[in-house]
Amino acid sequence: MGAFFLATFLGLFLTGCGVLPDQVDETAKWSAQKLYTSAKEAISEGGYDLGIKYFEKLESRFPYGQYAQQAQLEVAYAYYKKEETASAIAACDRFIRLHPNHPNVDYAYYLKGLANFNEDLGLLGRLSNQDLTERDPGAASDSFDAFKTLVTRYPKSRYTPDATLRMNYLVNALASHEVHVARYYMKRGAYVAALNRAQASIKTYPNAPANEEALFIMVKAYDLLGANDLRDDTERIMRKNFPKSEYYTRGLNRTEPWWKLW
């Protein structure tokens, strides 16, 4: 009998404290539309956690409706606004996998690209004013791939113009990263490694402005390696593509060739 009274008391106590969520969940009788609207309102006011919670309830209770599909995209956006990059990308990938032919799948690719594009540098990056060209290019490469898929598959999407502009920036940044690494190797006497990175930039990103320095590094590296024919061939290519390069001016009125003055 004592055990019965104890169980009854605990049940009443837990109910009073709100520990039984099913009995106090204010959303228990909400329609899909109300859940969706409330989630949108929460997110618009900066309540991303609450919005995500409502969207997840919506998808759980109404998994096959139109609102559930849209909720998946809205969750990705909420994570993006919270700067939780991994969760935002995972939500985008899930939507793309489940709804490859959805009218808004172009937005999923765009949001995935944005999430990688704006990936947080972290404390050290902010303190040192580190830019994208000096970082691990993994996120930039993933961002470029997402934008490229969007632009290729959905050329008339409302998001394509902005994605194209961001792709142009990313191409320059990725090429600059390769050149940054090549410059690092040059300063440490690793001339073959520098050549490989400079060549990679030119082959992978043939129209990037950073390739002016990539060619210069190649001329310099070939000279230091004693590969005179390759040095001269590379110089001819550089002069053809960058006839007014600033690197040439470093050799004016000097007895040394311009590439020896770096």
208 three-class SS: coil
Contacts of 130 (CB under 8 A, 6+ apart): 121, 124
What is the model's pLDDT at position 123?
31
What is the model's pLDDT at position 11?
54
What is the model's pLDDT at position 4?
47
Q: Quick check: is 257 in a domain?
A: no
Q: Quick check: is 77 in a domain?
A: yes
What is the model's pLDDT at position 24?
74
CATH code (residue 47): 1.25.40.10
Q: Quick check: is 68 in a domain?
A: yes
What is the model's pLDDT at position 75?
96
Q: Quick check: is 173 in a domain?
A: no
Tokens of 184: 């690092």
Tokens of 23: 């009995």
Q: How far apart are CA 122 and CA 175, in angstroms?
A: 22
Q: Give the total number of structural domains in the chain.
A: 1
What is the model's pLDDT at position 202?
95
Q: Identity (one letter) of the amino acid at 242?
A: F
Please check whether residue 41 is in contact with residue 34, taking contact to mean a CB–CB distance below 8 angstroms. no
* Low-confidence residues in the chain, pLDDT < 70: 1-23, 119-136, 250-262
Q: Quick check: is 71 in a domain?
A: yes
Q: Quick check: is 94 in a domain?
A: yes
Q: Quick check: is 141 in a domain?
A: no
Instruction: Give the DSSP per-residue string, 228-261.
Output: HHHHHHHHHHHHHH-TT-HHHHTTTT-SS-GGGG
Q: Quick check: is 49 in a domain?
A: yes
Q: Which domain holds residue 37?
A: 29-98
